[in-house]
């Protein structure tokens, strides 16, 4: 889907996604992520149970078209998802790919194997952890817009100002993503075949 040098083609929708996301500072996004993880723990307890087979369930999720990375620790005692501008600590596994692809994977709209076969995703480190995460996430039926954004929506009470602000940013991202998704669903040239 994308050249494998990790750089999106110029003026692609993915680049626009990067631009759209740029103003989101990690400091503002973090409360949103904390909220997301709390929600996930409550709504999808199976998700973490499925990962209990791993001794080190730590992940670095790197959307190659965003200037940030996400650190995920799925250990039941210290579950967290943290956003930062740089890789701050080692993780058992790294999942790298365009944001849209990662979101599709997260919400179970696309098959992890199929994505990897097309090399839209790159995996480093503990492949078992990645496979477990993918299987767990695929089952959980996470719906970012339905579950997470609804909790930020007009009828949800923002916990405090920063969270509200993060929520607005998220809503804007969501709108942008919808637009980008429409653009992405246009026919695209395929990568070279084996």
Partner 1 sequence: MKKLELVCPAGTPAALRAAVDSGADTVYLGFRDATNARNFPGLNFSRPELEQGIEYARSKGAHIYLAINTFPTAGDPEPWHKAVDDGAALGVDAVILADIGMLDYAAQNHPDLRRHLSVQASASNPEAINFYQDAFDVKRVVLPRVLTVPEIKALHKEISVETEVFVFGGLCVMAEGRCSLSSYVTGQSPNTNGVCSPACDVRYEDEDDGSMVSRLGDFTINAFAPGEAAGYPTLCKGRFVANGETSYLFEDPVSLNAASMLSELQEAGVTALKIEGRQRGKAYIAEVVSSFRKSVDGMESGAEVENDLTQVAEGQRKTAGAYQKTWR
User: What residues line the site for partner 1 (CB under 8 A)?
Assistant: 3-5, 46, 50-51, 53-54, 108-114, 116-119, 122-136, 138-141, 191-194
SS3 content of the chain, % helix, strand, coil (to 5): 50, 15, 35
Q: Determine phi and psi for 84, rounding to 5 degrees.
A: -150, 165
- Using the minimum distance from each CB to partner 1, give the nearer residue, 133 or 173: 133
SS3 123: strand
- Using the minimum distance from each CB to partner 1, give the nearer residue, 186 or 193: 193
In the complex, minimum distance from the CB of residue 172 to partner 1, in angstroms, rounded to a whole number: 27
In the complex, minimum distance from the CB of residue 126 to partner 1, in angstroms, rounded to a whole number: 7
Distance CA 151, CA 154 (A): 9
Q: Determine phi and psi for 58, rounding to 5 degrees.
A: -110, 140
In the complex, minimum distance from the CB of residue 121 to partner 1, in angstroms, rounded to a whole number: 10
- Using the minimum distance from each CB to partner 1, give the nearer residue, 88 or 111: 111
Specify burial of residue 64 (Cβ count, 10 A radius: 0-12, 13-18, 19+).
Answer: buried
- Using the minimum distance from each CB to partner 1, give the nearer residue, 139 or 168: 139
In the complex, minimum distance from the CB of residue 184 to partner 1, in angstroms, rounded to a whole number: 14
């Amino acid at each position: 889907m994308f050249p494998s040098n990790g750089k999106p083609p110029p003026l692609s929708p993915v680049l626009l996604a990067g631009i759209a996301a740029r103003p989101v500072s990690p400091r503002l996004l973090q409360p949103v992520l904390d909220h997301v993880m709390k929600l996930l723990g409550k709504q999808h307890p199976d998700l973490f149970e499925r990962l209990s087979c791993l001794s080190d369930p730590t992940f670095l999720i790197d959307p190659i078209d965003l200037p940030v990375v996400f650190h995920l620790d799925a250990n039941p005692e210290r579950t967290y998802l943290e956003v930062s501008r740089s890789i701050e600590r080692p993780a058992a596994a790294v999942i790298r790919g365009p944001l849209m692809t990662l979101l599709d994977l997260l919400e179970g709209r696309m098959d992890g194997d199929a994505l990897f076969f097309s090399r839209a995703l790159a995996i480093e480190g503990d492949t078992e952890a990645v496979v477990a995460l993918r299987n767990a996430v695929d089952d959980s039926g996470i719906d970012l817009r339905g579950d997470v954004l609804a909790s930020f929506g007009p009828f949800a009470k923002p916990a405090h100002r920063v969270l509200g602000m993060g929520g607005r940013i998220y809503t804007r991202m969501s709108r942008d993503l919808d637009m980008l998704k429409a653009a992405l669903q246009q026919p695209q040239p395929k990568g070279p075949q084996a």
